[in-house]
Amino acid sequence: MTSYGPATTADTLTPGPALVRGRGPLSEAVVQALRTGLPPSGTAACILKADPWGEDVQLALYLLYELHYRGFEGVDDDREWDPDLLRLRQALETRMLHALRSDLREAPRTVDEAFGPLLVEPVDLTGSLSRRLETEGELWQLREYAALRSLYHLKEADPHVWVIPRLTGRAKAGMVAVEYDEFGAGRAARIHARLFADLMSDLGLDTTYGHYLDHAPAPLLATVNLMSLFGLHRALRGALVGHFACVEVTSSPGSRRLAKAMRRCGAGPAAEHFYAEHVEADAVHEQVVRREVIGGLLEDEPGLEPDVAFGCMATVLLEDRLAAHIREAWDEDRSALRTALPPR
């Protein structure tokens, strides 16, 4: 394989996170391949039998996707485009996409049907995780929630950048405008990923990128993998727009409740500020994404409407599963993480 060498001097490079242990034959094969530089072995038969939503598949996908973000400590950057790893990733993606489409066989296929229920906050918030945290959440639960969400929020908006070169006109201009805000509007201290790191500091959590990967269960990994899956495939550009729009539409009410939860539990000013910032910002982003990004995309490519709806409904499905996983654990007074956090 051709090596293109480092883009910067060694003393300026920031190492990626450390590799974690596998959770089954597929993820273990990926870990060993990344550690040794050899192709992954013994995966073909395992893929056919693996649960697409299980720990093994979701961790394997997460590890392979992370090569396109910051990679891993001790892993050659050239492995990002290793053909053997890409073939394995494609096979795992095929399983995940098939499972998604099967689970959403009866889901809406128009933008109005998919987004309509999301535009009105439900009267009954019994199943809402943010409502639970707002009204009765404890500090240890807020810490768990932040640790889980850190796998996305420490790279917030990064997966969605991939759609920009695949858009034109109004859709591209609207997407860039929203992403500009996500990345701090030109101010490094205002980048949303940085604000989330500040939140983690208030909660006494480790802010190292990827630090809580080994703690994260499959339902959380699936929500992050979904963004990478949509982002890395031009054919799924409509689904990525649907995902991004779903996040923006649902963010503001949930962020308002989480800001109150942080304040009620005395989590700290930065912890409260992260969510307070999203209440206002995402209310504006929602309008831009719906009118300009979705509207512009479907004006240019009307045939992508079912894909936009699919992206939205896939997001709702996986977020609901994650919330159910967390609620079940907390109802039983146990950690929602694979390994509980050490005391603050």
pLDDT, one tens digit per residue, over 51-101 is 999 999 999 999 999 999 999 999 999 999 999 999 999 999 999 999 999
Q: What is the model's pLDDT at position 150?
A: 98
| 189-201 b/e (C-beta count within 10 Å ≥ 16 → b) | eebbbbbbbbbbe
Q: What tokens were used for 117?
A: 């229920």
Which residue stretches of the chain have pLDDT < 70? 1-14, 123-124, 282
Q: What is the model's pLDDT at position 252?
A: 87
Give CA–CA dist 111/128, Å, rounded.
Answer: 23
Domain 111-331 CATH class label: mainly alpha
Q: What is the model's pLDDT at position 122?
A: 72
pTM: predicted TM-score of the whole model, two decimal places: 0.94
DSSP per residue over 124-140, as a string? --TT-HHHHHHHH--HH
Angle at 193 between CA 189 and CA 239, to 5 degrees: 135
Domain span(s) for CATH 1.20.910.10 in the chain: 111-331
- Tokens 């809406």 label which residue? 108
Which residue, 58, 29, 339, 325, is CA-closest to 214?
339
Q: What is the model's pLDDT at position 14?
A: 62
121 burial via Cβ count (<10 Å: 0-12, 13-18, 19+)? exposed
Angle at 199 between CA 66 and CA 213, to 5 degrees: 30
Evaluate whether 248 touches 289 at the Cβ level (below 8 Å). yes
Give CA–CA dist 130/256, Å, rounded.
Answer: 9
Give CA–CA dist 287/294, Å, rounded.
Answer: 10
DSSP per residue over 288-338, as a string? HIIIIIIHHHHHH-GGGHHHHHHHHHHHHHHHHHHHHHHHHHHHTTS-SSS
Q: What is the model's pLDDT at position 43?
A: 86
The distance from CA 185 to its chain's CA centroid, rounded to whole angstroms, is 21
Evaluate whether 37 touches 67 at the Cβ level (below 8 Å). no
Q: What is the model's pLDDT at position 314?
A: 98
Q: 247: which residues sit within 8 A by CB, 6+ positions away?
A: 315
Q: What is the model's pLDDT at position 123?
A: 59
